[in-house]
Amino acid sequence: MVGNIFIRGFTLVSCQRRKNLFKFKKYGTILTASLTLFSARSTMDTKNFMAPPITPVEKLEKNSDDMKTKMELMIMKVQHEVCRALENEDTTKFKIDRWERKEGGGGISCVLQNGKVFEKAGVNISVVEGTLPPSAVAQMRSRGKRLEEGTLPFFAAGISAVIHPVNPMVPTIHFNYRYFEVQSGNEIQWWFGGGTDLTPYYLNTADCIHFHNTLKQACDKHDLSYYPKFKKWCDDYFHVVHRGERRGIGGIFFDDLDKPDQEKCFKFVTDCANAVLPSYIPLVQRHKIANYTKVEREWQLLRRGRYVEFNLIYDRGTKFGLHTPGARYESILMSLPLYAKWEYMHEPSEESPEGTLLEVLRNPREWADLPAPNELN
């Protein structure tokens, strides 16, 4: 039983800005605890987290210059900001699960389900360490990492989110930013990866331009070659190969980033993560109360079926996750929509709004080259 491999840490059943007052549910017992539990003794600003960090605060404070610490604190902060911003658009609140992993580390899964605006929104962080199996090491070696063969100690910290809105006029967004360390002999190899991409159900040019431009601005601050390179990487990655379609209208995607130096990479990834809300929230606000028909809802469900196809057949993260012993499948599969549909031989006419979207999914566009629309600026 995969599920039993986990030691579930505890579940916060209520976490709604009540002046640091949290309620914890641990194996059926309700405990009431204050955030001072993990912040009073510290100078570290942990108040605005969804749950206590995975790494003990004392250890974080002691190693405040370590990239592992910086990354954990950054993703905790982004998780909180994203969850609060989404809650501000909805009437439902996030449920929070803080879990621990027998093999080392753990995570915090925040899920909002059956909201008025968001049908299913999951914002996960995980901070894990342990031993990479030889197959994973071999896969990394094939990507050019200088690693010994066999099993190797590793550390990984990342944030990952998928937001599926109710209204078919509001696109789905996914983002993921992660930091990886692998120890080989006395040397530690490290790298960053991540990306943000948008999956609309109906094409809105102004949305696409705004979304891509926001990501481009975050990239351009660091390196003018980043956006074009990572935009193409994103189009290539989110490819539902058997259908010859992209999952959505793309965004940015990158992996194995270890140049020019660790600090600069971290700043870049931080800026990308901070660009998520400005790239997306205006789209939510603009369309969340749009009228839509049953036909448009059914089309959204069909496209969500394609989303499931990509995630379960092609997505490296999902595959890696599900095949890792001790993986928390509920957090991995949180990316799947609440509802999806598969209809045999559904072929919208080319002239229809559905056909217009398909055309763009088959032939990705350079959105950032288009003139910025007035509506969103």
Q: Can you give the binding site for a copy of itself, defined by CB under 8 A?
A: 1-4, 95, 97, 109, 111, 113, 120, 122, 241-244, 301, 305, 308-309, 312-313, 319, 322, 327, 329-330, 332-334, 336-345, 362
Q: Quick count: other Cβ atoms within 10 Å of Cβ 51?
A: 28
User: Measuring CA to CA, which residue among 285, 76, 80, 251 is closest to residue 175?
Assistant: 251
Q: For a copy of itself, give the closer residue by CB, 14 or 217.
A: 14
Q: For a copy of itself, give the closer residue by CB, 343 or 375.
A: 343
**DSSP type of residue 6:** -
CA distance to 181, 313, 340, 373, per residue, from 198 (Å):
28, 19, 18, 18
Q: Which amino acids are annotated catalytic?
A: 174
Q: For a copy of itself, give the closer residue by CB, 322 or 376.
A: 322
Tell me the closest approach of the beta carbon of residue 74 to a copy of itself, in angstroms. 25
d(CA 299, CA 291): 15
Q: For a copy of itself, give the closer residue by CB, 138 or 290.
A: 138
Tell me the closest approach of the beta carbon of residue 94 to a copy of itself, in angstroms. 11
Tell me the closest approach of the beta carbon of residue 241 to a copy of itself, in angstroms. 7
d(CA 364, CA 251): 11
- CA 135: distance to chain centroid? 25
Q: Are 110 and 123 in contact (CB under 8 A)?
A: yes
Burial of residue 62 (number of CB atoms within 10 Å: 0-12, 13-18, 19+): exposed
Q: Are 269 and 77 in contact (CB under 8 A)?
A: no
Q: What are phi and psi of 117, to 5 degrees?
A: -105, -40
Instruction: Specify which residues 101 forms β-bridges with.
Output: none
Q: For a copy of itself, give the closer residue by CB, 14 or 113.
A: 113
Tell me the closest approach of the beta carbon of residue 332 to a copy of itself, in angstroms. 8
Tell me the closest approach of the beta carbon of residue 337 to a copy of itself, in angstroms. 7
Q: Quick count: other Cβ atoms within 10 Å of Cβ 305?
A: 15
